[in-house]
Every structure is written in structure tokens, then in C-alpha cells.
Structure 1
Amino acid sequence: MARQSSPRPDADEPELDEAAGSHDPDERDDETATAGTADRGLWEELRIDPVEIALPAGSGFTLRAYRPAREVTPTEVGERDQDDPFLARSRAVTEDENDETVVILDEEFAEQLAEAEEEEAAAAKTRDRKGRADDDAADDADDEADDDTDEDTDGSDDGDEEVPVFLTHQGRLLLFKSPEALVSFVRSGAANDLTQLDTWDALVERISPADIAPLDEDTYELDLVVENLRGGHDTWDPALLIEAGEVARDLAYALRLPAVLDMLSSGSSLDDLDEALRTTVNGGLGAIFARRRLKKIGAQTASLGWRTIVGKISAVVDWRD
């Protein structure tokens, strides 16, 4: 936005010496802010966005793009390939000695989750059972909406579906502690998974530290999720949790983390939490039913699940100064 001209001084006031660079302090602040504002036209043209992600170990900047699946080669994950559904979708499900499906979860987390679910199941028996009819009606409405969505997507080519791609290399997310460090890496010509994009060369030529200014919706605070969930239903922050779910799904896909994808998949308890939160944010009659559903989601189970997700994402981060 153009800076407005300064009003002319009154006749009885001494004129400022322009050569000395004197300015109104408010104008100087406005000029500084304008100079540091990123040109969103660059990102819109190249279809790449700067992203800021906060994790328990700190906060860092990276890049993300969305492209049709047929145009993207997944990141190489090396030793993790044996558990990677991207390379072995047709492989038979591993079974244990009792022919039971093996769930890809950490043993410690699985034990804690089982204990939490038992405690919450016992507590659920004492809850008031009123409102079931209302819940069923809400579920029916959700099912109808899902059916409509399915009809809209029938016949679409899987290769046309846009998938997330981050600034990654060999299965690790590159996070930079400053805009300058991120720009230096981009300009260095170092290997990474975004070089396959058709707009990457243009970004290398045009990017500057001032451009690394993520939008609010591209700033994610994964470091706050577990603590927020532990606070209980009344303290849950819908915006924080919804945005965390969005970036966690993107990262799980881009970094090929099947356990995280499974924990956030449709029908999981964390996906139910996400859907209920979105409905409460949208308001209306559905929000009333959604709040009831939220009360049935155990805070302990949710916090344990998210602790595992944040831990798995943190384990594949490559921090760069």
C-alpha cells in the first residue's frame, strides 16, 4: 500500500531538513514494515509457499507446494522403504503368530493408549445417555454429506489429485531457523525434492529473505497441541488443532510416515476429533451435536495420540541454521 504524503508544516514551524533524512516516526515505521513485506505475487506465480512450523525443539521455516500426484516423485526414505505403503501398496499385510494384523504403533504408546481407552470406557458408562437421537440425526447428516462428496469425486483420475511436497531430502524435512538460511540453501543448488518442480529454477533466481513471510494459515504450532489437549475439553483450541491436523497429514504424506497417516485416517479417533472441531467452528445446529461428540472423545487418548504424531515428525526433521 502506498505511503501517504506528510502534511505540510505550519508556517510558524521550522521546516525539516530533508537532506538530513528527518521523517515522521510513524511514517518511518510504516516504511520499514512495507519494505519487509513479502511479495505474494512471487508465491502465487510459482505455486510454492513459505511455511513456518513450530515443534518442541524449536521453530523453523520451510517450503511447501501442491502438485498433481503424477508429477511428483516421492522422497527417498532409505531404510524406511520396507514399511512404506507408497512403494508396497499391494504387499500383503504382515500378520503375527495368531494371524492378527500388526498395527504400526510404538509399543510404549500402544500400552498407554490401551490403558487410557480402558479408563475412558469405564467413565463413559456413567455418562448421561440422553441426546442419542440427536447424535444419530447429526451422524446421518454427516453421512449424506460424505455421500455427496463421494459422488462428486467418482471417476476422477488419481493422478490428477494434488499432493503436498515439502523442502525435503532423503525422507527428512529441512527446517531453517531464519529466512536468510532458507534462502541461502535454495540458492546453493543443494539437492532436495522440490527441484523437480517446473517453477523451482525461477524461485532460485528471484527469492530473497524478505519473501519468507508465511501467511497466518501457513504457520503451524505443533509444539502447543499436546499441552492444549491435556487441558481438557473446555480449553481445546479448535483453530490450533485443526491447523495441526492439516499440516500433520501433509507432512505424513510428503515424508512417507505410514503410522501417522494411519492415526489420522478417516474413522480414527483423531479424525473424529478433527471433524467435530470443524463442525463446532462452522456453527449452527450441527455445532451443538458436534460439542456433544467432543465430550465423548477422551482428552488423554487424544493427547497421547498427538504426542506420538509430533514425536514421529520431529524424528525426521533436519534442522539447518
Structure 2
Amino acid sequence: MARQSPNRPDADKPEPDLEIDEDLDEAGDEIDDDEIEEEAATSRSTSSGSSALWADTKIDPVEIALPSGVGYTLRAYRLSTSLTPTDIGDREEEDLFAAKAKHAVPDEDDDTVVILDDDFPSEEDEEDEDDETSRRGKHARTEDAEEPSAEDFEDEEEEEAAEDVPVFLSHRGRLLLFKSPESLVTFVRSGAPNDLAQVEGWADLVERIQPADVAPSDEDSYELDLVVENLRGGHDTWDFNLLIEAGEAARDLSYALRLNPVLTALAPGSPLDDLDEALRAAAGGGLGAFRGRRRLKKIGAQQASLGWRTIIGKISAAVDWRD
């Protein structure tokens, strides 16, 4: 019997099943594709759920970057007539809202009777009044039943005075900023007192909010920590969108937290308000942009940076950081 050569392949050894290997590769590819699709679907579902939450409650997550750090909070816009302003009784500085209240006419006690000289007309006044009445005679105007009453005018004035104003997750005049979405959600669910608890939709938010929902959009992210440095760089380096968005955030915060110095610094006609208008014109494009840039050249970079440094300092001092 002839001996088989050691270099000759064994004829009895089975060939590898290539079809099985190909099937395994295809199965692996299918598993990977399924996992990717499942993760994508989960991501879409989470994003959709977050959008629905904010749309239903009309409350939005906000990210604010300050020199002391970056934090998350919540903001809503509601009619001014439906909100109770945050309590700043512990704050020593003069408050614009309190100043307005000082000039309001106090309510008289029920038992107090105020007598004015005009309540007792002279005899000449009475005679003049009688003559005027007789001259009018039959031409005196009769009131129409459909004419608006005084109450209707009052209601109309109240509707005109009401406007959408910002309210933040704040308490006693201090903005609550959280360093992580988890800590924000923990606070919201804790039932701790805050200024947002008075708005419609808050109870729904407390029940549904999850850490994954706290993902502010670009429009709700404000980099206040970069404003002063950007202004110091000079007109050619100014970031229009950065500065415009910072102005919007500062106005919202100053109103909601009742920061009178910031309200004054950004009031219409102030240097920083002129800067804001020029920035908006420059960012708008067209002929207005050219004029806006010319206006910006006339605004001192040092003056603008100093003004904004004061604003950032006032806002930072009104922040209550929560881990």
C-alpha cells in the first residue's frame, strides 16, 4: 500500500462551508443594523418627547454661561397680569417696582371722608350751571343703551396694559442655576418654592420632566461670559449675534429678578440700548447694515465693555448656584 505524501492535502478532509460563513456575516450585519436603527428610534422618540413636553407646558429649558460657570434653568413667558413678581424683600437696593408703588394713590379707609373745596360750589357757579343747562334745553344728549360703560373702558385698558413678560426658575429675587440636568430635575420634583410654580403648566412639567429633556436649543443658550472679552477686542471683532442674544437674556433676567440697575442700564435711549440697536441694524443686512456699522464705529469699545461688565456683575450676584 502506497504511503500518502505529507505535502499532499488530505483528500478526506471536508472543505470549509463558505455559505455558512456568509450567512453568519449577513446575520451579524443585520444585528448591527437593527441595533443602530433601534438607537436612532430611541433618540428620535426622546427628542420628540422633549419637544412635546415644552410645547405642552410652554416652559423652556435655558442654558446660561457666566464667568462663574455654566448652568441650566427654566423660563416661561406669561401675561404680566397673571404673575406675582418675585419677592425681593431681602434685597437692600432700591427696586423700580417698589418706587412705582410709592407714587400710587393709596386706598382710603372706608370710614375716611375727604372733603375738597370743589365739593361746595359757590352761588355764582350754581347760577352759571343753571344757565348752561337751560341753553342746552332739548338738545341735551341722551345716553345710548349700547354705549360702552366705564367698566368696559377699564377692562379694555387692562387688556392693553397686559403683555407677555418673562418668569424664570427663581426664588426671592435670585435665579436658580443648576450645574447638571439631573440636579435641576431633582429640584423641580422636590416641590420647593419657586416663582415658576405659579404658572399654568407647572404641575404637568413636574410629573413628566426627565434629565434627558433638559437640552436647551441654540436660541435658548446664552454666553454671557464672553460678552466683555468680545467687546474689548474692538469693533472689527464684535460678534453681533453673541451681543444681541446677551442683551435679550439680560433684559429678561433683569425684569424677572427685578434688577433695577440693569433695567436702567438697558432702558431705551441708554448707551447700551443704542449699541443694541446698532448691532441689530448691522446684522440685518442691506443698506441698514452699512448704517449700523457706521453707528457702531461711533460707540466706544471701552465704554461698552465697562457697561456690560457691570451688568454681568449684577446678574452674577443674583444667582443661586445649585449642584
TM tier, smaller: 0.7 to 0.9
Q: Distance in 2 between matches of 1:50 and 1:318?
A: 17
In structure 2, what residue type is equivalent to 1:299?
Answer: A
Q: In the alignment, does 2:195 pair up with 1:193? A: yes
Show structure 1 runs of 5+ residues with no match.
Answer: 1-9, 93-153
**Is 1:65 aligned with 2:67?**
no
Cα drift, residue 13 of structure 1: 6.7
Give the % identical residues. 63
The within-5 A match list for 1:163-242 is: 163-242=165-244
Instruction: Report Cα offsets for 1:241-300 as digits up to 9, x if no partner.
Output: 000000000000000001000000101111111101111111111111111100000000
Q: Distance in 1 between matches of 2:55 and 2:242?
A: 25
Partners of 2:22 and 2:306 in 1: how far apart?
70
RMSD of aligned alpha carbons: 2.5
**Partner residue of 2:44?**
34
CA contact (8 A) 1:68 1:159 kept: no
- Match for residue 295 of structure 2? 293
Matches of 1:234 and 1:28 in 2, distance apart? 48
Give the number of aligned pairs: 250
1:232 Cα offset (Å): 0.2
Q: Is the alpha carbon distance of 1:303 and 1:158 closer, same or farther for their aligned partners in structure 2, counting shifts above 3 Å?
A: farther
Q: Unaligned regions of 5+ residues in structure 2, if any?
A: 1-20, 104-155
1:281–1:157 distance in 2 versus 1, CA, 3 Å: same
Q: CA deviation at 1:29?
A: 6.6
Contact kept, 8 Å, 1:59 with 1:177, in 2: the verdict is yes
Match of residue 312 from structure 1: 314
Which runs of structure 1 show a deviation greater than 6 angstroms over 4 or more consecutive aligned residues?
10-13
Does the 8 Å CA contact 1:55/1:222 hold for their aligned counterparts? yes
Separation (CA, whole Å) in 2 of partners of 1:74 and 1:39 = 28
TM-score by length of 2: 0.72
Q: Which residue of 2 aligns with 1:128?
A: none
Could you say what secondary structure the match of 1:80 adopts? coil
- 1:262 matched to 2:231? The reply is no
Please identify, of 24-33 and 41-50, the stretch whose mean Cα deviation from structure 2 is larger: 24-33
Which residues of 2 match residues 50-199 of structure 1 at below 5 A? 50-80=61-91, 83-89=94-100, 91=102, 157=159, 159-199=161-201
Letter in 2 for 1:74: P
Q: Residue 60 of structure 1 aligns to which amino acid in structure 2?
A: G
Q: TM-score, normalised by structure 1?
A: 0.72
The superposition leaves residues 204-239 of structure 1 with CA deviations (integer Å, 9 ceiling, x where unpaired) of 111111111111100000000000000000000000
Letter in 1 for 2:100: R
- Distance in 2 between residues matched to 1:273 and 1:40, nearest whole Å: 34
Q: Aligned-pair distance for 1:82?
A: 5.9
- SS of match in other structure, 2:295: helix
Q: Contact 1:81–1:87 at 8 Å: present in 2 too?
A: no
| 1:87 Cα deviation after fit | 2.1
Once residues 228 and 174 of structure 1 are traced to their aligned partners in structure 2, the CA distance between those partners, rounded to angstroms, is 26
SS at match of 2:91: helix
Partner SS for 2:90: helix
